[in-house]
Structure 1
């Protein structure tokens, strides 16, 4: 792999991510998506991370995976979960994201004990913030991206309950001059 082509995206080794997640122990597992499990970890510098370990059944090649990771890592908006790097070591493909300590919005909406933590003012802030993130993806970023899987479990909450949109696994990237995109497959929920 030509490292110069991808130098803007930090590459982690399998060992670094295994150490960060206690060897991908089940007690470090914080979620599971259609593309594989997600683990909480801590890097040597003390940063908390979320590691998405993509399933081995993925047909995406390394070059395609790296190109997509580089593109996503260039997205910068305060309401998008940041991609910090990736791993393509030992036949593994993993994405490393910033860790969001308050989990996903669905944990608050659908848990009978937690809805009171999200008063109407907080809910309006969440809706406006995710709207701004979608506007950025669809219209204002250099890359035009259609998320295609917007749901409460893909809206993560930081330590202050500020929302960030996550999970670009089903996203569709299209040309900067295009104003519409067609897909041949129904995606998401």
Structure 2
């Protein structure tokens, strides 16, 4: 997509880093080149890491912003970004919790079962300040809740029992090097494709 084509790959923060532990700041300046570049970089970084969503503090920027490219349970693809989001969940009597496996790009290589509601609505703005309302069901609702958690200083590990959190960190320790190697390989392929002279000649 266009945003990723313009972007640069940024380092993804890991669980334990301070920027992931504190609430992010509201975005106050819209329509800026810096904000557009951040969105572009986040999309490319998310794709390189095979993610379905990415929050700004996952690339070290403590702003209330996340991007997503995520299917719902009907296979409909949802792509976009949202600035200064507010999360609305169904009332407790109307909500249905789905307990299924969830991963996180800042907890590389780990996946644990996390209960989330099957519906969610996010209200916010786009990078130019235009109001947005995003409605999600199924896996997309999970994605919206997951990314919103990041912006208030939480990862999915904070929703786990001590035992499950320990297991997730063990998985991360075992698999992170493989995950990092795959990300580095994909990032290098993107950079190679952008270098002049690296592309095959077009048949005449």
Using the size of structure 2 for normalisation, the TM-score is 0.30
Using the size of structure 1 for normalisation, the TM-score is 0.31
Q: Report which of the two structures shows the higher radius of gyration computed on alpha carbons.
A: 2
Using CA pairs under 8 Å that are at least 6 residues apart, name the structure with larger relative contact order, 1 or 2.
Answer: 2
The structure that is helix-richer by fraction is: 2
